[in-house]
Amino acid sequence: MADETQRNARNDRLPIKLIMPKQGTERRVLGGGTPPAPFRDVDLQYRNRLSNQIGAIQEALLPQLKMTRAAPVRVKIMSKAAAKSHRPEKLFSDKSCPIIGAGRLGELFIKATPTGLEQLTQIIQNNTSDQITKELSCIESIEAVTPASRRHGLGAEDILCRSPRRRNGFITRVRLFSFGADDDHPALVANFESVCRERGIKLDQRGYSERSFIYAAECQTVADVEALSRIIGVRSISHMPLVRTIRPRMMNQQALPALPTRDAADADVPVVVVVDGGISDQIPALNSWVVGRVRDVSPPYDQNTDHGTFVAGLVCWGRELNPTVGGLDSGACAVFDLQVIPNDDPSRGETSALLESELLSSLESALQEHANKYKVWNLSLGTDAICSLDEFSELAEELDNLQEKYQVSFVISAGNYATLPLLDFPRTPGQIEVGRITSPADSVLGITVGSVSHVDYKTNGPRQHHPSAFSRHGAGPNYIIKPDLVHYGGSCSTDAAHVHGIRSVTDSGLAEDLGTSFATPLVSRTLAQIYHQITPTPSPVLARALLTHHARDPRSGTRVPDGEENFLGFGLPAAVPYCLECTPHTATLVFEDTLRPGYFLEWDDFPYPPSLKRNDKYFGEVWMTLAFVPTRGARWGSEYCETHIDAHLGVYRDRVSRTTGEIKRMFAGLVPPEHRNPGLLYEAYQVEKMRKWAPVRTYHGRLNENGERGNRWRLMLKLLTRHGIEKDEAAFKPQPFSLIITIADPEKKASVYDEVAQIVRNRFQAQNLTIRARARVQGKA
């Protein structure tokens, strides 16, 4: 706070430096690796077992293969062999049965044809090369996809009972396997559509992308569900999820105080699109902040705007309505009302429900018209589907597609746990699974928000700044960090007997309520400030990186400890303008560039302030945030993210050989990834503990108090890929990224900013991250 006071007193700001692209050195990644070594003995008995499994598949699938020519088959891989380097791509290739997808970690799907199965049998029985032997040793089993597995272990009757009823049937969600760009795939789709026509099952793909091969299927009977489960091209069948908001409680109601209004002529304000049940038009002060409305709910189901109004009030006046709650920025923020959720409260009139597919259709329609103008879309909504650790939800995947297509950011609530007793912190072992986030909080590109308590319960409830008892936790699928961030969404005891809500507006005045729904708009408004204040408008990747970079543990103001990121994410975001400025003792650099597979980018002699080097040793603190939009493939299940970036920042050191006396230059990383526990090399471990394949990673290094020896600093970034997507160089697009690096003097003595700025001026093409002049005045108001 002293630095901020000093900066305001000087009436200036220290801007972040944006390093122009194409200034790193691109170098080819050198090949290498050890000869293939099998994971187990591949003897005659083992080969015969796999051959017998192929024989059983041939017998089971032959009748259906006459109609579709090809069928998906499941292959289970031992966990040690899940890494890309061990994938059996010679065994399962175009010469036999190629890999066409993946499911859970260690689960592959191959395309089986009569000829391919025969060739695969020949390879298993007769090929004794080192590579094939090693790949065979990875295999646990090869088996047909069963109706039960398509239903994820549920009975057909269970699925029908859970499916929402519409018109003349029950709405299920069906997903087909995808063979990719393969001539045999259309026959798979045609067979599915033919069976549905014969049974009178109506199909609707509205809301889902064409290449997702996801359908709403209207079933009349259990037999219809069973028939869909037997179709060779069906990957999964489930009930169609319903999208809901929490039903507001509206406690401790009071008269509405005088609140700031917006002059209708002032259009230069950040805006959050509130995707909800509508915003009331009965509150004049709130009306002044509503810049537009779209009603996508038909009468009479459009009369309950309680939840959307409460959310909108927090976007517009979060700080004014909650003056005792910290971490809220004061910048002006308006809302756009996108009403998509019908009333589900019988006490408020006729009720209806919103299907997942209908939400997606409404979103796309609104995005087509408004995405260029409004970049932050608040989704304080969810489903009752607990997110899997193994696969991303269909809703999350489609939201990712929309965000990338329209270059916007969805801010999504983590979901609320409502079964008494509520969740403790630390969570008990039994609460870890039942308290996990719900779809679509597993969106990779979405920013998921959990809630922390703004009050202190000495017993039977969370301490101040700890996760709220109702706030659901991660990790997300593939162990990505979810929630991404937290904010204050109210609090209560674990028996719900004592409640302290967050305050916002209703038609009846001021009220309190609680839920991750109400932490979410507080993050949305900060993100909208970032988008609005930077000019030109930043990419969603850079905006997300800036939002994350200065997030901190609200309990301590420092980094979120390892092991607690699944409950607190990267922390509570810093208010604007702090996250867009430097201090005299810190310097922040932004790198926006692209990576190509097979190459790495290097910035040798990376700028480090001379005042943090004493007696040939470096001192200080460094933190980094790396964000990117990974290439994604929905057919790859837990391997949905197909690109990953490794970042390394450290120093070169001289090492003298004990035998020859030769001096060798060695690189030593000094800014390690956070939330990791290195030590094992298996892919499953790297995914879980090291957050491999995650779209946002943070790094932090506080140099030894005695200093770190080194010659000079070096930054290096490398791209990793899956599924051979890099082989088609013409189709593969280079991977863009945003990397933010802050160098700081923890003692707040060194002139870090001035020194780094001088080095940057001398050595790089760079510019200041430009902030609107008017926004600076608003930020200090």
Residue pair 494/459 in contact by the 8 Å Cβ criterion = no
Give the chain's domain count. 4
List the CATH number of the domain containing 112.
3.30.70
Task: Please indicate, yes or no, whether residues 508 and 414 belong to a single structural domain of this protein.
Answer: yes
Joined tokens for residue 624? 């980094």
Beta strand residue intervals within 138-276, DSSP E:
139-144, 165-166, 169-176, 202-204, 214-219, 234-239, 242-243, 251-254, 271-276
Task: Please indicate, yes or no, whether residues 611 and 679 belong to a single structural domain of this protein.
Answer: yes
Compute CA distances 199 → 224, 232, 666, whole Å.
Answer: 7, 16, 68
Question: Beta strand 447-452 with 409-413: parallel, antiparallel or unpaired?
Answer: parallel
Cα–Cα dist 376/447, whole Å: 10
Asked if residue 257 belongs to a domain, the reply is no
Burial class of residue 255 (count of CB atoms within 10 Å of its CB; 0-12, 13-18, 19+): exposed
- Helices 114-126, 44-68: inter-axial angle, 10-degree rounding: 170
The residue type found at 283 is I
Task: Please indicate, yes or no, whether residues 522 and 538 belong to a single structural domain of this protein.
Answer: yes
Burial class of residue 89 (count of CB atoms within 10 Å of its CB; 0-12, 13-18, 19+): middle
Task: Please indicate, yes or no, whether residues 552 and 667 belong to a single structural domain of this protein.
Answer: no
With H, G, I as helix, E, B as strand and everything else as coil, classify residue 367. helix
Cα–Cα dist 89/408, whole Å: 37
Cα–Cα dist 111/105, whole Å: 19
Compute CA distances 488 → 307, 370, 411, 466, whole Å.
Answer: 17, 29, 15, 10
Cα–Cα dist 513/685, whole Å: 40
With H, G, I as helix, E, B as strand and everything else as coil, classify residue 25. strand
Task: Please indicate, yes or no, whether residues 429 and 563 belong to a single structural domain of this protein.
Answer: yes
Question: Residue 731's pLDDT is what?
Answer: 57
241-263 pLDDT tens trace: 999 999 888 898 999 999 999 98
Residues facing residue 43 across a β-bridge:
none
Task: Please indicate, yes or no, whether residues 319 and 467 belong to a single structural domain of this protein.
Answer: yes
Question: Residue 684's pLDDT is what?
Answer: 55
Question: Residue 36's pLDDT is what?
Answer: 72
The residue type found at 656 is V
Question: Residue 115's pLDDT is what?
Answer: 94
Asked if residue 53 belongs to a domain, the reply is yes
Cα–Cα dist 510/745, whole Å: 44
Cα–Cα dist 337/199, whole Å: 41
Task: Please indicate, yes or no, whether residues 127 and 160 belong to a single structural domain of this protein.
Answer: no
Asked if residue 225 belongs to a domain, the reply is yes
Task: Please indicate, yes or no, whether residues 508 and 420 belong to a single structural domain of this protein.
Answer: yes
531-546 core/surface letters (b: 16 or more CB in 10 A; e: else): bbbbeeebbbbbbbbb
What's the maximum distance between 2 C-alpha atoms anywhere in the chain?
Answer: 86
Residues 6+ apart with CB under 8 A from 672: 699, 700, 701
Cα–Cα dist 177/234, whole Å: 6
The residue out of 103, 127, 145 marking a domain boundary is 145
Print the domain residue range for 499.
262-568
List the CATH number of the domain containing 722.
2.60.120.380
Question: Residue 683's pLDDT is what?
Answer: 52
Which residue has tokens 């969106």? 443
Residues facing residue 590 across a β-bridge:
18, 740
CA 710 to chain centre: 36
Residues facing residue 238 across a β-bridge:
173
Joined tokens for residue 634? 């929905």
Residues facing residue 451 across a β-bridge:
487
The residue out of 145, 171, 197 marking a domain boundary is 145
The residue out of 509, 538, 568 marking a domain boundary is 568
Question: Beta strand 509-513 with 502-506: parallel, antiparallel or unpaired?
Answer: antiparallel
Asked if residue 245 belongs to a domain, the reply is no
CA 775 to chain centre: 29
Note the residue count of the chain. Answer: 781
Joined tokens for residue 765? 């093409």
Joined tokens for residue 279? 């915003």
Task: Please indicate, yes or no, whether residues 638 and 663 belong to a single structural domain of this protein.
Answer: yes
Asked if residue 251 belongs to a domain, the reply is no
Question: Residue 32's pLDDT is what?
Answer: 58
Joined tokens for residue 512? 């309190």
List the CATH number of the domain containing 528.
3.40.50.200
CA 308 to chain centre: 24
Cα–Cα dist 422/417, whole Å: 7
Residues 6+ apart with CB under 8 A from 555: 463, 464, 465, 466
Question: Residue 775's pLDDT is what?
Answer: 43
Asked if residue 754 belongs to a domain, the reply is yes
Asked if residue 575 belongs to a domain, the reply is no
Asked if residue 576 belongs to a domain, the reply is no
Residue pair 375/409 in contact by the 8 Å Cβ criterion = yes
Task: Please indicate, yes or no, whether residues 331 and 461 belong to a single structural domain of this protein.
Answer: yes
- Which H or E run includes 581? strand 581-582
Task: Please indicate, yes or no, whether residues 458 and 443 belong to a single structural domain of this protein.
Answer: yes
DSSP code of residue 112: E
Can you give the C-alpha Rg of the chain in angstroms?
28
List the chain residues with pLDDT less than 70.
1-12, 31-35, 84, 677-691, 726-731, 774-781
Task: Please indicate, yes or no, whether residues 532 and 473 belong to a single structural domain of this protein.
Answer: yes
Active site residues: 276, 307, 517
